[in-house]
Amino acid sequence: LRPGTTPPARRPVPPPQRHRRILCTTHPVMLATGSIDL
């Protein structure tokens, strides 16, 4: 990478609201079971 350019990973890209909501709702379940595939 050249100096002055920002790597894509460094740029904060918010996930879609739909995916975010799914993560929020299934997080407790994932902690409980640990076998959930998103």
Query: Closest by alpha carbon to 20, among 2, 38, 1?
Result: 38
List Cα–Cα distances, 30 to 3, 5, 11, 16, in angstroms. Answer: 40, 37, 27, 20
**pLDDT surpasses 50 at 38:** no
List Cα–Cα distances, 20 to 15, 28, 38, in angstroms. Answer: 6, 14, 11
pTM: 0.16
User: Average of pLDDT values for 18-34?
Assistant: 61
pLDDT at 11: 61
